[in-house]
Structure 1
């Protein structure tokens, strides 16, 4: 069975633990639940199936039943918090703690890179900008950004981009992008991306007054839709985004970094059918 530090879903870990114990000898959900202090003989099975969840007060019991001690028990506790939390700040704090524990024991949690990459507009913008400026020092790069970023921040972000594999060094102060993309679990990556969406939306709001109409392009429509139209519009936006990237990639002499926000969201509740007498 692989290390607990390679898991980000406690349900999968409990299931794998059960399967491993079952493979090695006689073992049942009843026995497992009893050793963890549950009166229900199949409660942990329901947890693994996603039909129930492990309460905070029972984390210690289940960890003990699986023989977890020290950092493994700490990691399991944070993993349960991460999976059960409904608010992004709580989930993010738990995942960051998981990363810390994993890094201390030489296991990389890729979601940590995702959170760091998306925690500020500076990471994706500098990833695009730095390769355009061969030979430039951090202060020169910082001065090209419309939003404030210090030379020290540029230096730190550059080091992260190199270490995480998003940029590669081709020579003295010369860098290029790799094919590396930001990856993470299906549970964690949306949290990181939501943080970026919020920050980029705030930047777009400031851009309305900051730049003249010939420097920026803003447009929008208000429309009514049904579920089928909603799906088709989202698909069209996805296709448009891919087309925009394709156009940008046709050129090799880029000299500016820009941001496009595709925003399609409800401004009313769904109208329920009303019967009039």
Structure 2
């Protein structure tokens, strides 16, 4: 079984613990629950299946039942809070706590790079812009950005992008993109990306006043839909996005960085519920 700090979903960690114990002994969900002090023999099974959740009280008992000690207990508690949190702000706080515990014990949390990359517009933009400007100093790159960014922030971004393998230095102040993309777990990456969507949405609003209509394309449709039509439109948007990515990939002489936001979201609640079959 992997060390606890390589997990970010406490349910998966508990399931792996159960399977590990079961392989080496006649371990059961009933016994697991009994050791943790629960009267319901199936409670922990329901937790692992996502049908129930650990609380601030019960997670302590489960940690003891699994034999966790020292920083493992702290990490487990942070992981439970991370999994149970509903808001991104709280999730980020508990993720940072998990990362701090892992870092203190010389273990790398894979999503840290994803969070840093998507934390603001700067890293994605610098990753695209720097290869277009071979030999350019950070101050020169900063001046080419339409948003406020200092030479120091550009340098900091370049160091991060090179360290994580998202840019490769091939000469004096000269970079090229690698094939490596930012990857993270299914638990952490959506939170990081939502942060980026919020920031890019703000920049899209700013673009309405900042740029002439000949330099931007902002359109929208307000329409009535049902679930079937919504899913068809999502499929069309996915196809459109893939075609746009292909066009960008075939582009030869790059000279500018653009951002495309594809947004489809509800403006009202459902007028009537889904019909039952």
Please indicate the TM-score interval, normalised by the length of the shorter structure: over 0.9
Matched, 1:194 2:202: no
- Give the secondary-structure state (helix, strand or coil) at the position aligned to 1:204: helix
Q: Which residue of 1 aligns with 2:127?
A: 127
For residues 251 and 16 of structure 2, what CA distance do their matches in structure 1 show? 49
In the TM superposition, 1:173-252 aligns within 5 A as 173-252=173-252
Q: Which moved more, 1:239-248 or 1:144-153?
A: 239-248
For residues 221 and 29 of structure 2, what CA distance do their matches in structure 1 show? 55
Q: Which residue of 2 aligns with 1:166?
A: 166
For residues 183 and 272 of structure 2, what CA distance do their matches in structure 1 show? 39
After superposition, what is the alpha-carbon deviation per residue over 1:98-120, rounded to whole angstroms, capped at 9, x for unaligned?
12222222322221111111110
TM-superposed CA distance for 1:158, in Å, is: 0.9
TM-superposed CA distance for 1:240, in Å, is: 1.1
For residues 226 and 32 of structure 1, what CA distance do their matches in structure 2 show? 45
Matched, 1:156 2:156: yes
After superposition, what is the alpha-carbon deviation per residue over 1:1-24, rounded to whole angstroms, capped at 9, x for unaligned?
111111111111111111212222
- Give the secondary-structure state (helix, strand or coil) at the position aligned to 1:56: coil
Q: How many residues align?
A: 273
- Give the secondary-structure state (helix, strand or coil) at the position aligned to 1:55: coil
Q: Which residue of 2 aligns with 1:4?
A: 4
Matched, 1:20 2:20: yes
Segments of 5+ residues of structure 1 without an aligned counterpart are none
TM-superposed CA distance for 1:31, in Å, is: 2.2
Q: Which moved more, 1:201-210 or 1:110-119?
A: 110-119
Segments of 5+ residues of structure 2 without an aligned counterpart are none
| RMSD (Å) for aligned C-alpha atoms | 1.3
- Give the secondary-structure state (helix, strand or coil) at the position aligned to 1:91: helix
TM-superposed CA distance for 1:30, in Å, is: 2.2
For residues 33 and 221 of structure 1, what CA distance do their matches in structure 2 show? 53
For residues 29 and 244 of structure 1, what CA distance do their matches in structure 2 show? 50
Matched, 1:54 2:73: no
After superposition, what is the alpha-carbon deviation per residue over 1:41-84, rounded to whole angstroms, capped at 9, x for unaligned?
22111111111111111111111111111111111111101111
TM-superposed CA distance for 1:189, in Å, is: 1.3
For residues 100 and 253 of structure 2, what CA distance do their matches in structure 1 show? 40
For residues 232 and 65 of structure 1, what CA distance do their matches in structure 2 show? 48
For residues 90 and 241 of structure 1, what CA distance do their matches in structure 2 show? 31
After superposition, what is the alpha-carbon deviation per residue over 1:123-153, rounded to whole angstroms, capped at 9, x for unaligned?
1111100111111111111111000011111
- Give the secondary-structure state (helix, strand or coil) at the position aligned to 1:33: helix
TM-score (norm 1): 0.95
In the TM superposition, 1:98-137 aligns within 5 A as 98-137=98-137
For residues 10 and 184 of structure 1, what CA distance do their matches in structure 2 show? 16
For residues 91 and 40 of structure 1, what CA distance do their matches in structure 2 show? 29
For residues 114 and 267 of structure 1, what CA distance do their matches in structure 2 show? 30
For residues 74 and 268 of structure 1, what CA distance do their matches in structure 2 show? 42
TM-superposed CA distance for 1:29, in Å, is: 2.0
For residues 30 and 235 of structure 2, what CA distance do their matches in structure 1 show? 47
TM-score (norm 2): 0.95
